[in-house]
Structure 1
Amino acid sequence: MNEATREALDAALDDEYKARATYRAVLDRFGEVRPFVNIIEAEGRHIEALLRVYSRHGLEPPADRWADHVEAPATLEAACREGVEAERENDALYARLIEKVDEPRIRELMSRLREASRERHLPAFERCLARGGRGQGGGHGRHGRRGPTGECSG
């Protein structure tokens, strides 16, 4: 793996760690509300997928520097707004990172993670914001919908 690919992989994992920590802080403050309860599960799957790349290449992944270091916004509406911004930034980040990656399997993974952010997470946060930040229910439960890569649709 070349240095540019390794740096892209590190940046992707760091961003996924940050998202998970941020959404965990929101759940800790406001309870098990959608879309956060669904999306935090997806972020965990994204992290696991990236960690498998490290393992496959015999690399040590960077530590999670975000766990327990992120505070939730004061309101659920603000959390939804920040979720929209974060997912837009995530989409842009993956667009930049994919260009640096020379390995097809890693490019494909990053493309799927970008798609999940853009096609599922962002719309879920936009719906949350449109509701004025009023969270709904306790997650996907038994009847939750999952997208083609396993993410909940929120």
Structure 2
Amino acid sequence: MKRKENTVNSKKHNILLIMMTLVAVFTLSLATGCASVEDPETEEPTVSVPVEEGADTAPDAFVPENPKPTVDHNVDSDPEPLKEEELALSPEGYGAIGALLDQDLSLADMLMYAVEDEYLAHGEYLEIIDLFGAERPYTNIARSEEMHLSFLREVYASYDMPFPEDQSEAHLIVPENLLEAARTGVQAEIDNIAMYEKFMSYDLPENIYNVFDALKKGSDSHLLAFQKQVDRLE
């Protein structure tokens, strides 16, 4: 009687082992099958890194439509009113070249020269894009110039001053090739940096100093990008 009972128990034990094995195989198969299928609901998203302002990037790099500033420009929305002498305009030329020649700069002169030079740079880089196609770093830097103009527009608005219109077309330098364009960009950024350094040597309201400093740092980045282009094309 015991022998028969042992035999029955042994058969039950074997059946249980078989069932457990089948369950394990089925579970492993299911897991393997799921792993091989891409689930669009759970797939980890691709993270795009914004391009640094003015950077010379690979063709497939992500470029934001409205690049964020690399520095905080800290515009005071309600600054102390400017004095009459600070509002006096007596320009000696146009853009950075005019600013570097001017020996009697008012605050209004500085702001005007800054706007003119940013307009000029933006116009020249768009002209280069129009002539030679959407080449980097011109596409990136043209968008950066738009951002720079928006900084200056905030300053004008904070003092309730009308923002100057774009008169840069008469001052544009049209290059014959991309090497000449890159060299033109180098010189334009050198002049722009020198202009802001000159402005910051004056006793300025903090919010305007911060804007000029932000714009100069942007131009530092642009200069490096253009110098890289010159080195590549020479």
Look up the match of 1:80: 182
With normalisation by structure 1, the TM-score equals 0.81
Look up the match of 1:43: 145
Q: Tell which has more relative contact order, 1 or 2 (C-alpha 8 A, sep 6+).
A: 1
With normalisation by structure 2, the TM-score equals 0.54
CA shift, 1:67, in A, is 4.1
The answer (yes or no) to whether the contact 1:90–1:117 under 8 Å persists in 2 is yes
CA shift, 1:68, in A, is 7.4
Structure 1: unaligned runs, 5 residues or longer:
134-154
Structure 2: unaligned runs, 5 residues or longer:
1-81, 88-105
Equivalents in 1 of 2:134, 2:181: separation in Å? 13
Equivalents in 2 of 1:89, 1:130: separation in Å? 20
Answer 1 or 2: which has greater helix percent.
Answer: 1
Q: 2:125 aligns with which of 23, 26, 47?
A: 23
The answer (yes or no) to whether the contact 2:186–2:223 under 8 Å persists in 1 is yes
Equivalents in 2 of 1:76, 1:104: separation in Å? 39
Task: Check 1:21–1:101 CA distance in 2 against 1; reply closer, same or farther (3 A cut).
Answer: farther
CA shift, 1:70, in A, is 2.4
User: How many percent identity over aligned positions?
Assistant: 31
- Give the counterpart letter for 1:80 in structure 2: A
Query: Number of aligned pairs?
Result: 132
Q: 1:107 aligns with which of 209, 224, 230?
A: 209
Could you say which structure has the larger radius of gyration? 2
Q: CA RMSD in A?
A: 1.5
Look up the match of 2:230: 129
Equivalents in 1 of 2:130, 2:216: separation in Å? 26
- Which 4+ runs in 1 deviate beyond 6 A? none
